[in-house]
Amino acid sequence: MKEFVLYTGCTTPVRLPAYEAAITIVLEKLGVRLIPMKDANCCGAQYVESVSHTAFAAMSGRILAIAESMDRDILAVCGACSGSLKIVKHDLDHNPDLRAEVNDLLAEEGLKYTGTVEVKHLLQIFNEDIGYDAIKAAIVKPYNGVRLAAHYGCHVTRPPEIVQVDNPETPVIIDKIIEIAGATPVDYTGKTRCCGGPMLAMDQEVANKIGLDKIKNIRNERAQGIVTACVFCDIQLTQVQFGDTAGSEPKIPVLTLPQFLGPALGINFDKLGIQLNKISPEAILQVT
């Protein structure tokens, strides 16, 4: 069984524990075991990242070093964490001074970053480590053509030269998995646009407008649900539909990718935390 160390980031364990549970159980079923990372810290995305590049490198660098000490590659399930860890890895690999600085700080704990660890986002595990054939073979209860819109997330797919997850302009991994599981992937205007999540700090109104614009474009294609690959996007696309400016249209359920795939693999809803989803996806989880 392939093993990865799971780095959840700050948000998933608290705001979307269902995502954590679903990933663990779905990947286990597909032959990938996840070992939780102990004694971790925040990756430093967005906030520390903005004010001190070195401090940011230190924070993400420590995560990389812990994985190295566990002799396992990292699986990041939050887009922002995935982006941070990959970018910091790139910076540390190409910048000996920065690496020396960070290692100096890590040495006190007996940790060291030498560059042997790889960082993968969830989509890479499906595409590269498990493979579409294995996923197809594991489908026991296919969907019945339900129309679903994939939302990849900005930090998952960009900048492509560094993160190397999927084609940023025409990403396919989530859409392929949707198709393999028997549902219908739906394209929509602005598919690669941001969900608005990062804007919540500075201007919530603008963040909501951006999120609702995405929901509107998805609704225009008569999609019955949204499948996400980043905890932040999932929370944002859910909560914008509850705001004052959301309108009165029926809410579109938002599902994380493992919660979508799980039922098709024969996994029980409650093991995937479906009951915790704010907008119930039960109507679309009609597996045969």
Question: Phi and psi (nearest 5°) for 224?
Answer: -95, -10
Q: Does 93 bind other proteins (CB under 8 A)?
A: no
> Which residue has tokens 């393999």?
180
Q: Minimum Å distance from CB 137 to other proteins?
A: 26
Q: Centre a 10 Å sphere on the Cβ of residue 90 and count the other Cβ atoms it contains.
A: 15
Q: Minimum Å distance from CB 260 to other proteins?
A: 17
With contacts defined by CB under 8 A, name the span among 68-76, 103-111, 127-135, 177-185 that binds other proteins.
103-111
Cα dihedral 152, 155, 159, 165, rounded to 10, equals -50
- The two structure tokens encoding residue 271: 């093991």
Q: Which residue of 112, 136, 147, 271 would you call a contact of other proteins, by CB under 8 A?
A: 271
Q: Does 18 bind other proteins (CB under 8 A)?
A: yes
Q: What residues contact 177, with CB distance under 8 A and at least 6 apart?
A: 126, 132, 135, 257, 260, 261
Q: Minimum Å distance from CB 182 to other proteins?
A: 25
Q: Minimum Å distance from CB 256 to other proteins?
A: 13
Q: Does 182 bind other proteins (CB under 8 A)?
A: no
With contacts defined by CB under 8 A, name the span among 112-120, 132-140, 207-215, 249-257 that binds other proteins.
207-215
Q: How many of the chain's residues bind other proteins (CB under 8 A)?
A: 61
Q: Minimum Å distance from CB 3 to other proteins?
A: 18
**Of 164, 279, 283, 161, whose CA–CA distance to 228 is shortest?**
279
Q: x-or-dash pattern for other proteins, window 212-241, by CB under 8 A?
A: -x------x---------------------
Q: Which residue of 4, 5, 32, 44 would you call a contact of other proteins, by CB under 8 A?
A: 44
Cis amide bond preceding 96, omega within 30: no
Q: Is the dihedral angle over the CA atoms 255, 205, 190, 193 positive or is it negative?
A: negative
Q: Centre a 10 Å sphere on the Cβ of residue 1 and count the other Cβ atoms it contains.
A: 7
Taking each helix axis as running N to C, give the angle between helix 96-107 and helix 79-94, from 0 to 180 degrees, rounded to the nearest 10.
110
Q: Which residue of 46, 69, 103, 184 would you call a contact of other proteins, by CB under 8 A?
A: 46
Q: Minimum Å distance from CB 142 to other proteins?
A: 25
Single-letter residue type at 150: A
Strand order in the sheet with 119-121: 32-36, 2-7, 73-76, 119-121
Interface residues with other proteins (CB under 8 A)? 10-11, 13-15, 17-18, 20-21, 24, 36, 38-42, 44, 46-55, 58-59, 62, 105, 108-109, 154-155, 158-160, 168-170, 189-190, 192-194, 196-199, 201-203, 206, 209-210, 213, 220, 271, 273, 276
